[in-house]
């Protein structure tokens, strides 16, 4: 018999006969409802759900929210899933989500029965949905836009600084695009895009500077009119900044093979 049914039967020992019968019927209904819900979730979907839950627990723990109870049920769900006990794994997963929601609610401020977000819960949602990266990307885009407007004519070794600024603008777009892509695929933002991505605008400025040198020197030729060369170079610098993450991976692979 299901574990939930055993628990309900034990609780009915001190009840009258009608009470026992009523509790037994209730247990059967609960089991059927849980089974019907499980049939809508494949083992693969359950595995993905547990992976997302783990990231949620990590974000909550880093925000100083007590998730011990939720984590214990997550571990039980993971163990049952590894044993192919999908029914029990789903029930433990569902209980872990419930405990996590309770922990988040407990972390809120309670003012006369009204719960409002605390610094811990705000930090949790910022970490989970990459809002720090969104703010960073927006501020970075505004900064590079202001630099383009005010300091685009400054040159270093004959290279205009707008080449680096446009690359920085492209990297800002990459950060925001990465956040949106994660939210579409995972429902949350993976951790490295909240921390490591903060260095991308600085690296993109170097790549933009080098892209201008390559493009203006004629090493990379494009079939454009002379009047459109400046605008084409701006586009190349922007795309170079947008592809900064890709360039870093390619350069890392190249250095390992040398």
Calpha distance 24→1 (Å, rounded): 11
Q: Assign 84 to helix, strand or coil.
A: coil
Determine the Cα–Cα distance for residues 73 and 92; give it in Å rounded to an integer: 5
Q: How confident is the model at residue 193 (pLDDT cuts 50, 70, 90)?
A: low
Predicted confidence (pLDDT) per residue in 58-95, tens digit: 989 999 999 999 999 999 999 998 998 888 899 999 99
Over residues 209-229, mean pLDDT: 68
Condensed to tens digits (0 to 9), the pLDDT of residues 126-142 reads: 888 888 888 999 999 99
Instruction: For residue 190, name the pLDDT band (cuts at 50, 70, 90).
Output: confident
Rounded to whole angstroms, the Cα distance separating 107 from 164 reads 44
| 187, two tokens | 């429902």
Q: What per-residue confidence (pLDDT) applies to 68?
A: 93
Boundaries of every domain in the chain = 3-111, 130-257
**Residues 201 and 171: beta-carbon distance below 8 Å:** yes
Q: How far apart are the first and last CA of the chain?
A: 63
Q: Name the pairing type of β-strands 109-111 and 114-116.
A: antiparallel
Residue 220 is predicted with a pLDDT of 56
pTM over 0.85: no
Report whether pLDDT(20) > 70: no
State the pLDDT confidence band at 153, using cuts at 50, 70 and 90: confident
Residue 163: predicted pLDDT: 92
Where residue 46 falls among pLDDT bands split at 50, 70, 90?
A: confident
């Amino acid at each position: 018999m299901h574990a939930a049914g055993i628990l309900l039967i034990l609780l009915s020992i001190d009840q009258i006969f009608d009470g026992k019968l009523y509790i037994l019927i209730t247990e059967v209904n609960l089991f059927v409802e849980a089974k019907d819900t499980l049939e809508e979730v494949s083992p693969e979907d359950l595995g993905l759900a547990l992976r997302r839950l783990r990231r949620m627990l990590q974000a909550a723990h880093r925000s100083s929210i007590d998730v011990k109870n939720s984590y214990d049920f997550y571990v039980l769900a993971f163990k049952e899933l590894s044993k192919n006990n999908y029914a029990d794994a789903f029930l433990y997963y569902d209980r872990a989500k419930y405990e996590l929601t309770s922990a988040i609610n407990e972390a809120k401020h309670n003012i006369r029965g009204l719960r409002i977000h605390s610094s811990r819960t705000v930090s949790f949602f910022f970490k989970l949905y990459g809002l720090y990266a969104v703010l960073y990307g927006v501020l970075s885009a505004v900064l590079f836009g202001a630099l383009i407007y005010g300091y685009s004519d400054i040159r270093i070794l004959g290279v205009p600084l707008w080449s680096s600024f446009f690359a920085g603008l492209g990297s800002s777009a990459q950060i925001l695009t990465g956040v949106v892509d994660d939210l579409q695929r995972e429902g949350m933002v993976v951790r490295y895009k909240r921390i490591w991505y903060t260095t991308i605008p600085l690296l993109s400025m170097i790549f933009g500077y080098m892209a201008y040198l390559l493009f203006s020197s004629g090493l990379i030729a494009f079939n454009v009119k002379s009047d459109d060369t400046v605008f084409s170079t701006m586009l190349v610098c922007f795309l170079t900044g947008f592809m900064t993450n890709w360039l870093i991976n390619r350069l890392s692979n190249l250095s390992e093979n040398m």
